[in-house]
Structure formats: structure tokens, C-alpha cells
Structure 1
């Protein structure tokens, strides 16, 4: 089994630098952690292609609605796909300057794909999504489930 201790530490440094760049509202430093051709999916589904698109979007956000924000999150797991590629699952939510903690409705989970490049580990892909668990029980869930069943059966009967 390969000892991944050094690579894991280097990957954690990439994520820490990205978080610090966010806290500094520095779009250039944030985007520098990504490969030139990186893919970035924001919490709202926006897809960015490339480091410059990432930098441009975040520069506008840091100058506007994300001004003064900080990142609150943690790495949950690091899994190496190869010696030169790893997947990270973590949390990462925006906290406004007047907030002490992340409001429940703003919790996010993210997936990072990092690759080893000539310049060290960099983020090749990032996907962020809000944590919105689907309720699994209760009268409203049962009622909606019955409605879905009824509509599905009607649609199948028309075919």
C-alpha cells in the first residue's frame, strides 16, 4: 500500500489556501488553486469552464453579494483514484460578516477532484450543492407519494 501522507497534506494545503483566499475575498488567489481548464459547478448550478471564468465570477461576487464573507467547512474524506488524482468530499458554506455560524438552510456539501500537475496539486473540478435532505416520512410525504402514484398510473393508462 502506498503511503499517501505527504500527498494528503499537500492536498489539504490546497483546500486551506482556497479557503483563505475566500476569506480574503481574493478571487485571483482563489482561482489560482484551479487548473487552467477546470470545471466549477456553483451551488446554484452555474457551470464555469476554466480558471479565468472562475476568477471573473468570484471577483464580481466578492465585490457584491459575497463581500466580507468567510468560508466555514471541513474535509470529510480524501480518496486517491491514482497516484496523480484524488477526490475530496467536504463541507463548505458561506458565512456573512455579521453571522457567527452557517444558517441551517445555507449548509453545502462539495466534491473536489484534484490532480497532480507540474505546479503541484490543483483542483481540476469542483461541484457544490446545498444540503437539502428529502423528508422520508410524515403525512405530507405520504400524501405527496400517493399523488405521484396516482399521476403516474394515469399517465401509464393513457399510453
Structure 2
């Protein structure tokens, strides 16, 4: 199960690298609750996809995302809280780190992110 959950972040990074908001957001549940690093709330996979597509066409064009899943704590057999450190790498070598706390659920045999809160760690 842990490998399936970690794979969500691998798929997310692949979507980011492709510059595809739709592929990036494919790991989120249709009714996901997403909070970005500025504290802005986005409701639903389609909204997350559209917002990220805009980012990929503007300030995050030609960037890469890497993610390191730090912990997975199962709440039930079909739900877990996940902590992930991510880094956005720009083409000029700059890197910006974030930390996310997510809730993942297994729905109809598929793991999806149902709640996601992304933040810039305090220095």
C-alpha cells in the first residue's frame, strides 16, 4: 500500500515535468480540497488542474518537481495522512522547498489525494 501511495507523488511530478495541469491533478480526488502555499483554497480536481496549468504556462514553465514522502500514517485500511517534502527546480538551478500534509483515500481500489495543504517551511 505504501508504494501505491508514494506513486501518487511520482505521477504528480511527471505531470509537472510535462507541464500538464490535467496530468498533475490526476492524483487528486474529483472532490479534493487543496490549499496552496499562499493559503488559497481550491475545491475539486478540475480547479487544481486549471490553476496548475496556468502556473505551468507562466512562472513555473520549464521547472521540475521532486518529492520525498517522509511519512505515511494509516488512519484506516483505506485512509492515511501523508507528509511530503517537495522541491521545485528552475532551469537556472534555483530550488524552492515546500512541505505538504495530505489525506489519501482508497476509493474503488484506487488511492487518491482527498485533502492537501502545501506550505513553505519556516526557516
Find the partner of 1:36 among 27, 30, 33.
30
1-structure distance, mates of 2:98, 2:7: 20
Kept after mapping to 1: 8 A contact 2:83/2:102: yes
2-structure distance, mates of 1:45, 1:19: 21
Deviation at 1:93, TM superposition (A): 2.2
Residue in 1 aligned with 2:105?
115
Deviation at 1:119, TM superposition (A): 5.3
Kept after mapping to 1: 8 A contact 2:74/2:81: yes
Find the partner of 1:48 among 42, 46, 61.
42
- Could you give the per-residue CA deviations for residues 80-135 of structure 1, whole angstroms, max 9, x where no partner exists? 01000011101012111121x52xxx3211111110011500000111110114xx
2-structure distance, mates of 1:19, 1:88: 16
Residue in 1 aligned with 2:60?
66
TM alignment of 1:122-137, pairs within 5 A: 122-133=112-123
1:24 aligned to 2:18? yes
1:84 aligned to 2:74? no
TM-score normalised by the chain length of structure 1: 0.74
Structure having greater relative contact order (Cα 8 Å, sep ≥ 6):
2
Structure 1 or 2, whichever has the larger Rg, is: 1
2-structure distance, mates of 1:23, 1:119: 27
Q: Which structure 1 residue ranges, 4+ long, deviate > 6 Å from structure 2?
A: none
User: How many equivalent pairs are there?
Assistant: 123
Structure having the larger proportion of residues in strand: 2
Residue in 2 aligned with 1:145?
none
- Structure 2: gaps of 5 or more residues: none
Structure having the larger proportion of residues in helix: 1
TM-score normalised by the chain length of structure 2: 0.94
